[in-house]
Amino acid sequence: MSADKEELEIDEDFVAEDADDAEAPAEVAKTNLTKRRIIDNFLDERRLHKQLAEYDFEL
């Protein structure tokens, strides 16, 4: 063991790349969720229009 302290070299670019990778899946998931909600709303609207067309108004 030596009395001199060794300086550790820190690679800051590695941390930045890791942070960028963590944000990308969140954006994709958010976009996919938004698309799924739009599709669900569209299908629900079509179902309601179909029910309205089939409804017997002469009760």
In angstroms, the Cα distances linking 36 to 6, 16, 46 are: 54, 31, 15
So what's the pLDDT on residue 42? 97
Q: How far apart are CA 43 and CA 37, in angstroms?
A: 10
More confident: 52 or 29: 52
So what's the pLDDT on residue 48? 96
For residue 55, give the DSSP letter.
-
Q: Is residue 15 pLDDT above 90, yes or no?
A: no
| Residue spans per domain, the chain | 25-54
Task: Estimate the share of the chain in helix, then strand, then coil, as percent rounded to the nearest 5.
Answer: 75, 0, 25
So what's the pLDDT on residue 57? 80
pLDDT digits (tens, 9 = 90+) for 19-47: 555 566 778 888 999 999 999 999 999 99
